[in-house]
Amino acid sequence: MLLQRLALCSRIPLDSRRHVCWLLTRPLSQVPQGRANSSSFAHRGELRQAKRIVVKLGSAVVTRGDECGLALGRLASIVEQVAMLQNQGREMMIVTSGAVAFGKQRLRHEILLSQSVRQALHSGHNQLKDMSLPLLEARACAAAGQSGLMALYEAMFTQYSTCTAQVLVTNLDFHDDQKRQNLNSTLQELLRMNIVPIINTNDAVVPPPEPNSDLQGVISIKDNDSLAARLAVEMKADLLIALSDVEGLYNSPPGTDDAKLIDIFYPGDQQSITYGTKSRVGLGGMEAKVKAALWALQGGTSVVIANGTHPKVTGHVITDIVEGKKVGTFFSEIKPAGPTVEQQTEMARSTGRTLASLQPDQRSEIICHLAELLTERKEEILAANKMDMDLAVSAGHLPPPMLKRLSLSSAKLNSLAIGLRQIAVAAQDSVGRVLRRTRVAQNLELEQITVPIGVLLVIFEARPDCLPQVSALAIASGNALLLKGGKEAANTNRILHQLTQEALSMHGVKEAVQLVSTREEVEDLCRLDKMIDLIIPRGSSQLVRNIQRAAKGIPVLGHSEGICHVYVDADASVDKVIKIVRDSKCDYPAACNAMETLLIHREILRTPLFDQIIDMLRTERVKIHAGPRFASFLTFSPSEASSLRTEYGDLECCLEVVDSMQEAVDHIHKYGSSHTDVIITENGDQNKMMRSI
């Protein structure tokens, strides 16, 4: 394919060739725009905008465990990711190690072959004596391995119709202005032609590294870490990905008991870490990587150090980083004012233990105080909610049901306060209640009692009323709580969380409930399996499915869709029917327990009761979708329901006809979601059947 492109370009006039070749080689997908200025990205999520990316492959990533030869499978997966990003319109460069290891493999093979031939000639028989290999000099290995390494890259990238070019450099190429300009020009031209430059130090001629030889403001090329940093800054790269054999940067040597992976590293944090030994191969260790990363960061290039050897993540580590996922250690110049989500979780867990040890009366007092704050400070809450509503309406991306869920009112706050006081009463025996007692032996009893779960992560969409409800339930059950709300309700969530912590402060457990307000992706939160004990998603069925897929090692308490039914039996009371149907559909249609399907007994059709139901729904402006059987009874029917499993979440519902209560129950089992279902009847003989729902 590449030859076809070049052949076509060669037949185009010279003055038009550059423009046409660009169109031929660039994909038609949207091209990332890169940074708007010369500063590095402040947050992981911004890495999606990275256009020019340098991928540094350390020796431990490229070579096998025996240091003689290349890790071909690992290298192939890295090449696939780089080619995919290149085909997205990004400009990819690779700084690679591996020439010495590849050359060592080739030279050892040649030496062994040569020795075996000589021994066979001198001994006259095929029995070979023990052969010892001489110590191989690194420069000779590099000279023997460089061409083979490049041929391997060329063959792998060819599978993805991606062209590569080899560039060998030394420290002098950066110290000499003319050579540096030539190098820059060469790389710029290669990138313009959609070619992936593969850069390495010319280890066949490079002198041994000199310690402490950095020039003023310039990092010396001592290893591929410093080469990658210097190259990234020189080429104004948006992102440098340094792959090694560790997960990232730890606060102490990996493997020690207290070692913790640092998610985000800031230039002022150097004193807080202790470096271990360098990797099994290569010249640089983690200290060299950090020094090179900080130098690149100062030059305006964002840096991520991650593991490129783990078999479970190697196949997507580069693309995950570019997508902004929490992988490895991200270097940032901007330190947020608040704590990280890991610190918030630690604070919640620690304070949650104190919350669990409080007396039931004390937990009830906290919840009652929160209920009082909801009514006393309603003006602040409604003002914040108005800001969110105005922003959502002006943005225009929220559907009407979501806007209704986002909206708060005095009536809704009063209802919330009543609900919280009910939870406060239930909090009296939520923790420490004996569920079962078994006598195992004389004077030995086994008790099963209720205890807190630990740290809960509750993820909810644009529903700010969810925050005080969930907080009250967590407080009642003695659980620490981590909340992640929809950005559409950011202002409302903030004031509600402040009131929650104000209520918690009365017994010194303010930090037990935390609101995640950083740019953490939900998928990243779901990976905190060592810090979170249970995830509870509150929102659409799609949100629940996404959380269940993303959660790694954390149980998820998911719920089903709110496809709720109301069945009107032939023996139903007229007054009850009108009141129940109106309340279940019209009071709060966006609620998850609102009626979505109205089932009518066939005998009610063409009766005054049926007319009253239809008139009431029309008065309330409820749009009716006819079920297939109901539509068959009508000459001119409403729009037919596209599915009997639809959760409308608005002033809409499906109306269907059944012949009996048993058929209604069967319909609910088939199309419902086991959330909330109602049967309206005055026939006492149907009680047994009603309990089967």
pLDDT greater than 70 at residue 693: no
Helix, strand, coil shares of the chain as percentages rounded to 5? Answer: 45, 15, 35
pLDDT of residue 280: 44
Answer whether residue 470 shows pLDDT above 90.
Answer: yes
Q: Which DSSP category does 442 fall into?
A: T
- The CB-based long-range contact list for 266-269 (8 Å cut-off, 24+ gap) reads 266/331, 266/332, 266/333, 266/335, 267/294, 267/297, 267/298, 267/333, 268/335
Name the least confident of 112-116, 300-304, 346-350, 594-598: 112-116
CB-based contact 647:538 (threshold 8 Å): no
- At 461, give phi and psi (nearest 5°): -85, -150
Q: What is the DSSP string of 460-508?
A: E-S-TTHHHHHHHHHHHTT-EEEEE--GGGHHHHHHHHHHHHHHHGGGT
CA distances from 66 to 62, 117, 133, 229, 467 (A): 12, 25, 15, 28, 55
pLDDT the model gives residue 34 = 65
Which pLDDT score, from 0 to 100, does residue 465 have?
92
Q: What's the confidence (pLDDT) of residue 338?
A: 76
**Any idea what the Cα angle at residue 526 is, between residues 548 and 76, rounded to 5°?**
90
Q: Could you give the angle at the alpha carbon of 588 between the alpha carbons of 587 and 593, nearest 5°?
A: 110
Q: What is the DSSP letter of 644?
A: T
pLDDT the model gives residue 494: 96
- By CB atoms closer than 10 A (0-12, 13-18, 19+), residue 603 is middle
Higher pLDDT: 106 or 363? It is 363
Q: Read off the pLDDT of residues 183-224 as tens digits, 9 standing for 90 and up.
A: 999 999 999 999 999 998 887 676 655 544 443 444 455 577
Q: For 108-155, how does the pLDDT look when each residue is reduced to its tens digit (9 = 90+)?
A: 767 766 666 556 555 555 554 555 556 677 777 778 778 888 888 999
Task: Please tell me the least confidently modeled range out of 94-108, 337-351, 451-465.
Answer: 94-108
User: For residue 690, what pLDDT band results from cuts at 50, 70 and 90?
Assistant: low
- Least confident residue range of 14-18, 290-294, 660-664: 14-18
The answer to which of 121-125, 505-509, 551-555, 605-609 has the lowest mean pLDDT is: 121-125
Q: List pLDDT tens digits, range 406-424.
A: 999 999 999 999 999 999 9
Residue 29 CA: distances (Å) to CA of 25, 26, 32, 85 = 12, 9, 9, 11
Where is 535: in which H helix or E strand?
Answer: strand 534-538
Mean pLDDT along residues 586-600: 90
Calculate Rg over the CA atoms of the chain: 34
The model carries a pTM of 0.71
**What is the Cα–Cα distance from 291 to 139, expressed in whole angstroms?**
26
Quote the CA–CA distance of 137 and 646 in Å, as a whole number. Answer: 72
* One-letter amino acid for residue 426 of the chain: A
Residue 75's CB: how many other CB atoms inside 10 A?
22
Per the structure block, which two tokens stand in for 298?
């100062």
| Lowest pLDDT segment from 446-450, 480-484, 517-521, 530-534 | 517-521
Cα separation, 395 vs 386, whole angstroms: 14
Q: Does the pLDDT value for residue 354 go beyond 50?
A: yes
